[in-house]
Chain A
């Protein structure tokens, strides 16, 4: 984070609305909580990983990239602990994107709808 800049920036407005702007934000946070509940990492490890992401340069002053940092921290922790590699996560994400494109509007998106399902 660029501290010198943040020292002067105004606080974001509002913050009294709903907790999440999109379902993926809630799911990302819930995954982080569930993994702590399961003992895969501690609250301190999580705070350290999230803190690393939230102290990078160029963060949005309005905090709108917070849940992006949550996902980045999750991926870093999981790959650091060899629970899931970055390649595995990227490949599965690509598969979900292809599945979304291949699924007719109004139908549930299933990973099996990926035309290359199981190929990657």
Chain B
């Protein structure tokens, strides 16, 4: 595969369609600069500031961009809030659409055929494999991402975190909790 990818890069560079330096910069961005910490910042701010949470509900793309996190292709963001009644779970049944700007690159399981298939038909079974068992009366809503619209879950704020600063709250927000395959960590976890 190395030779095939080198061939693509060679041909595209010779035709002036890509710049090898730009390729290196993109790799660096996705390996080192974007990651779930960006999303954790969004969630912690939503927990701390009701006005920001409202902005996320009305125009998540703009609210998230205000923190400096924007998608490269201008994809739109929708933020879905977990409540005592509803738990949200994100999937891309087509391929691997994912909110890169706030979560970085998707984990292996997110891109796997079983997750893409089973998240829709058996979300409770999928959550159980992640060690997450929700009350039977908790509704599970599954959101199917597309190239144009990506989802970020705001998990419920853990008890006992009243008055915590954003930086401390961020440490409770895991990647999986923002996909919906986990919950935020308990206050005692930090």
Contact = CB atoms under 8 A, between A and B. Distances in A.
Interface of A: 1, 3, 6-7, 9-16, 18-20, 22-24, 26-31, 33-38, 40, 42-44, 46-48, 50-51, 53-55, 59-64, 66-68, 71, 74-75, 78, 83-84, 88-90, 92-97, 100, 111
B interface SS class: helix
Interface string B108-141: 1111111111100110001001000000000000
Given A16-B107, A66-B96, A11 B114 contact: yes
Contacts of B96: 50, 54, 66
A12 B8 contact: no
Given A1-B113, A35-B18, A63-B109, A27 B4 contact: no
Interface of B: 1-12, 15, 17-19, 22-24, 26-27, 30-31, 72-73, 75, 94-97, 104-105, 107-118, 121-122, 126, 129, 146-148
30 contacts: A3-B117, A6-B113, A7-B114, A7-B117, A13-B109, A15-B110, A18-B31, A24-B2, A24-B5, A29-B26, A30-B30, A31-B8, A31-B18, A31-B23, A34-B26, A35-B17, A36-B73, A37-B72, A38-B18, A43-B147, A46-B147, A47-B95, A48-B94, A50-B95, A53-B95, A62-B112, A66-B111, A75-B8, A92-B7, A96-B2
State the 5 A-B residue pairs at the shortest beta-carbon distance, nearest first.
A15-B107, A63-B112, A92-B7, A47-B147, A51-B94
Nearest to B16: A38
A15 B106 CA distance: 9
A92 to B, nearest CB: 4
Contacts of A1: 113, 117
A11 B143 CA distance: 19
B54 to A, nearest CB: 28
Given A11-B112, A15-B108, A88 B11 contact: yes
Nearest to A33: B26
Contacts of A12: 108-109, 112, 114
A interface SS class: helix
**From B24, B113, B114, B148, residue with most partner A Cβ within 10 Å:** B113
Contacts of A89: 4, 7-8, 11
A30 B111 contact: no
A15 to B, nearest CB: 3
B8 A28 contact: yes
A47 B8 contact: no
B126 to A, nearest CB: 7
A31 B7 CA distance: 12
Nearest to B122: A7
A24 B2 CA distance: 5
Given A15-B110, A60-B113, 14 more contacts: A11-B118, A19-B30, A24-B5, A27-B9, A29-B27, A31-B12, A35-B18, A47-B146, A51-B95, A83-B12, A84-B15, A92-B7, A93-B3, A93-B7
